[in-house]
Amino acid sequence: MDSSVSEALTKFGGQQFPSMVRDIITKTDENCIYTSVVSSQLDADRLDYAKRDAYFAGVSSGGIDLDWLLRNFRVGENGNARFLYVDSKAYISLEQFTVTLFQLYPTIYLHKKTRGLEYMFALLLSRVFELIAAGDISSAGLTEDHPLVRFFRNPGNLENARLLDDTLFWGSLYQFREAPDPSVSDVATRISDRNIFPMIDVWKIADEVMALRSTKLDLAAPERVERIGAICDAVAKEIQ
């Protein structure tokens, strides 16, 4: 309650607003209707990124009539619980939303390029934060007043967190490229040159190999899946 986040919420909604937000996030009151707006199968975040991510990734999402969905939200009650639902007029829009969300995972979130970049991003920032923690900021190619350094030293300050956006990362990439630390420089150069780590589909390879062995073709589907899963686990462990 003493954080800068609490101060910002108090200015926005009054003295009791921070505790209200906290209770919604922690789901203290299971009957609170606002909880489903924050976290549910049809929450505000999903409704937002289902349109935004498809648009910025250049993927045809099939169209989501978000305004129509919102206009057709209704409030229902079951005992002490209140919940949101949509009436029959919005069933088609709800179906479009569900299908779009389903399609986003293989086309964007689980795409091999996305997964490779996420891994490289994690490697880069992990190493940068290691150097900051060790007091060797210059090896990461940064200066003392860089937003990443300020955030690492005081993550509880909301103003430091608000500076961490896409623009900051892409703007800092050239600094990472010139960093004395070879790990930082290598990964940053790969990201900026779009030289993304390849993804090896171990499951597909194992499945194809098993298909060539006549003794494995008679396996029931559950046993086949179990064996391929065990192979993938063993390969992952060996690689690590």
- Please indicate, yes or no, whether residues 150 and 217 belong to a single structural domain of this protein: no
Final residue of a structural domain among 154, 174, 192: 192
Alpha helix (H) residue ranges in the chain? 4-13, 17-25, 33-38, 44-57, 66-71, 91-104, 112-133, 147-153, 158-162, 166-177, 182-192, 202-211, 214-217, 221-239
Does residue 5 lie in a domain region?
A: no
- The mean-pLDDT minimum among 27-36, 70-79, 162-171, 182-191 falls in 27-36
Pick the closest to residue 151 from 129, 166, 130, 136 (CA basis). Answer: 129
Look up residue 219 and give its amino acid: L
Look at residue 116 and tell me whether its pLDDT is greater than 90. yes
Q: Which domain holds residue 45?
A: 31-109
The Cα–Cα gap between 178 and 48 comes to: 37
Structure tokens at 60: 């045809």
The Cα–Cα gap between 133 and 28 comes to: 36
- Please indicate, yes or no, whether residues 188 and 121 belong to a single structural domain of this protein: yes
Does residue 165 lie in a domain region?
A: yes
Does residue 156 lie in a domain region?
A: yes
pLDDT, tens digit, for every residue of 97-115? Answer: 888 888 888 888 888 899 9
Look at residue 187 and tell me whether its pLDDT is greater than 70. yes
Look at residue 58 and tell me whether its pLDDT is greater than 70. yes
pLDDT, tens digit, for every residue of 12-28? Answer: 999 889 988 888 888 88
The Cα–Cα gap between 177 and 197 comes to: 17
**The whole model's pTM is what?**
0.73
Beta bridge partners of 85: 74
pLDDT, tens digit, for every residue of 24-40? Answer: 888 888 788 888 888 88
Number of separate domains in the chain: 3
Does residue 23 lie in a domain region?
A: no
Final residue of a structural domain among 54, 77, 109: 109
- Please indicate, yes or no, whether residues 116 and 101 belong to a single structural domain of this protein: no
